[in-house]
Amino acid sequence: MPASLPDVDPLIAQLAGAIAPVLTPETVIVGIHTGGVWVAERLHALLGCKQPLGMLDISFYRDDFSRIGLHPQVKPSNLPFDLEGRDIVLVDDVLHSGRTVRAAMNELFDYGRPSSIRLAVLVDRGNHELPIRPDFTGLTLDVPAHQNINLSRLDDGHLTLSLA
Amino acid sequence: MPASLPDVDPLIAQLAGAIAPVLTPETVIVGIHTGGVWVAERLHALLGCKQPLGMLDISFYRDDFSRIGLHPQVKPSNLPFDLEGRDIVLVDDVLHSGRTVRAAMNELFDYGRPSSIRLAVLVDRGNHELPIRPDFTGLTLDVPAHQNINLSRLDDGHLTLSLA
């Protein structure tokens, strides 16, 4: 476990470099609310993506929805394009159990049947509970189960990772 | 591309060896109809699994169900255990797009919220269309898109792989 976490900007630049070869003018980038959207916004700009940015809120699709109920600050998803036959780059900040990504895939399929979904994550912290793995990873980090790794956005828009 | 495909029995033995360390008395093995069930039956026996074997038919859960309709030979799923909080080893013969596994996960979650789902496949042929990857793989094989790789069961119960 490193004493300090790396800067986020170079990780996102590295992700963009890995995604660039598979990007076509029709590819859409979709971020998972909240941290995934922040990362997706950066990727969208760095890659000069021609399509509008998509945003997913998977609160209704979580497999523990019935247990935790609806969060008062749920934001609606925003997918301003037809997903049928589309290549999608799905973006999240941290991959852990994989349950969020499963929920996100289900929501995407409710809008249409994409041609492909590739997963880009800023941090893969392991301890997966489902057979879901990223196609593009900024940082692989072995975080103990009792710790959280969080992405924050400062007032100036700067993104930082922290352990808690 | 090898001129002949390897024997299936050693591949299944290798899968069993990889799965053994994570198996607990509560772990269940679930095969996806048809080929995945054949492989799962072998794994179940080799591993001396204490729980009954589970079988999934994902016909109703396929993302192209509305296009292809119901196959006349659909077999019902058989999951003779409570899936809530359970560790599952999900078994399929060939991993290709990942759509079958996504459908299988959705069916499993409709029965309960498992603690974990690990994926074991006899052959991973690549060309994934979803961010779904096996935890345990018998054979990784780069099969051209126009070819199919099939698992067959002979009258004597012997399993064989073939390209078509």
pLDDT tens column, A74-92: 567 899 999 999 999 999 9
- In A, minimum Cα distance to B66 occurs at A113
- Using a CB–CB cutoff of 8 Å, tell me whether B102 touches chain A: yes
Over the Cα atoms of chain B, what is R_g?
A: 15
Q: What's this model's pTM, rounded to 2 decimal places?
A: 0.92
Is A111 or A69 the better-scoring residue by pLDDT?
Answer: A111
Angle formed at CA A105 by CA A102 and CA A110, multiple of 5 degrees: 130
**With an 8 Å Cβ cutoff, are B119 and A105 in contact?**
no
Across A137-164, average pLDDT:
94
Q: Tell me, what's the pLDDT at A130?
A: 98
Amino acid at position B151, single letter: L
Q: Tell me, what's the pLDDT at B76?
A: 76
Helices (H), chain B: 8-19, 35-46, 65-68, 99-111
Q: Tell me, what's the pLDDT at B147?
A: 92
Q: Tell me, what's the pLDDT at A58?
A: 86
Mean pLDDT check: name the lowest of A112-121, A127-136, B31-40, B143-152.
B143-152
Angle between helical axes of B8-19 and B35-46 (0-180°, round to 10): 60
DSSP for residue B132: B
Residues of B in contact with A116 (CB under 8 A): 129-130
Is the pLDDT at A97 greater than 90, yes or no?
yes
Q: Tell me, what's the pLDDT at B71?
A: 56
Considering only CA atoms, which of A65, A112, A132, A86 is closest in space to residue B101? Answer: A132
Q: Tell me, what's the pLDDT at A32?
A: 97
Amino acid at position A160, single letter: T
Q: Which two tokens stand for residue B89?
A: 């080893």
Q: Which of A90, A117, A130 sits opposite B117 (nearest CB)?
A: A130
Residues of A in contact with B106 (CB under 8 A): 106
Q: Tell me, what's the pLDDT at B54?
A: 97
Q: What is the pLDDT of residues B5-55, one digit of tens each?
A: 999 999 999 999 999 999 999 999 999 999 999 999 999 999 999 999 999
Q: How many CB pairs under 8 A join A and B?
A: 44
**With an 8 Å Cβ cutoff, are B63 and A113 in contact?**
yes
| Cα Dmax for chain B | 45
- Using a CB–CB cutoff of 8 Å, tell me whether A135 touches chain B: yes
CA distance linking residue A96 with residue B91, whole number of Å: 22
Please provide the average confidence, as pLDDT, over all residues in chain B.
92
Q: Tell me, what's the pLDDT at A1?
A: 47
% residues pLDDT > 70 (chain A) = 90
Contact between A53 and A32 (Cβ < 8 Å): no
Which residues have C-beta within 8 Å of that of residue A153, sequence separation ≥ 6?
A: A38, A159
Is the pLDDT at B68 greater than 50, yes or no?
yes
Residue B70 banded pLDDT, cuts 50, 70, 90: low
What kind of fold does domain B8-163 have according to CATH? Rossmann fold (3.40.50)
Please provide the average confidence, as pLDDT, over all residues in chain A.
92
Is A1 or B111 the better-scoring residue by pLDDT?
Answer: B111
- Using a CB–CB cutoff of 8 Å, tell me whether B119 touches chain A: yes
User: Rounded to 10 degrees, what is the CA torsion of A114, A120, A126, A128?
Assistant: -10
Give backbone dihedrals phi and psi of A31, rounded to 5 degrees, phi first: -100, 145
Give backbone dihedrals phi and psi of A58, rounded to 5 degrees, phi first: -100, 15
Is the pLDDT at A69 greater than 70, yes or no?
no
- Listed in order, strand segments (DSSP E) in chain B are 28-32, 54-56, 87-95, 116-124, 136-140, 149-153, 159-163
ipTM attached to this prediction: 0.92
CA distance linking residue A92 with residue A35, whole number of Å: 7
Considering only CA atoms, which of B30, B135, B10 is closest in space to residue B77? Answer: B30
Is B74 or B114 the better-scoring residue by pLDDT?
Answer: B114
